[in-house]
Amino acid sequence: MPRTTAISGPLTFLFAAMAGLVIIGFYPSYFSKLLDTSFTFHVHGLLMFAWTGALIAQDTFIRTHRMDLHRRVGKLSFALAPLMVLSGVLVIRENYDGIEMGERRSNASPYRHLPSPNAP
């Protein structure tokens, strides 16, 4: 396989597309309500997006032969992974506590733009 110095490759585009889909997918329930969202959800979102950014960076560093930076980002993921799990648990707990107390985050469902399965 020939060596390349191209910054972007198929995986870079795939991971960038994944980041774009995350923004589109979470727009109704998160990005459109940034000011009404709890700190826990912000931290969780930032950690998950940092992981996506790390994927893009890892691919770019490999393609540009920057193994030193690839390894640094890889070592950073050892700290990022447990923080992602912890933030996920905290988000689940916060949602569960809200449901248990009869609270809803919003008056409208984030899925209101999707067709209802009961619609004719």
Per-domain residue ranges for the chain? Answer: 10-100
* Confidence at residue 67, expressed as pLDDT on a 0 to 100 scale: 94
Put simply, whether the predicted model's pTM sits higher than 0.85 gets the answer: no
45 φ/ψ angles, rounded to the nearest 5 degrees: -65, -40
Cα–Cα distance, 99 to 83 (Å, whole number): 24
Q: Name the pLDDT band for 114 (thresholds 50, 70, 90).
A: low
Q: How far from 12 is each of 3, 92, 104, CA to CA, in Å?
A: 17, 30, 38
pLDDT at 38 over 60: yes
* Confidence at residue 110, expressed as pLDDT on a 0 to 100 scale: 52
- DSSP code for 115: P
Question: Quick one: which of 96, 100, 78 has its CA closest to 88?
Answer: 96
pLDDT at 34 over 90: no
Q: What is the dihedral of CA 92, 97, 101, 103, to 10 degrees?
A: -40
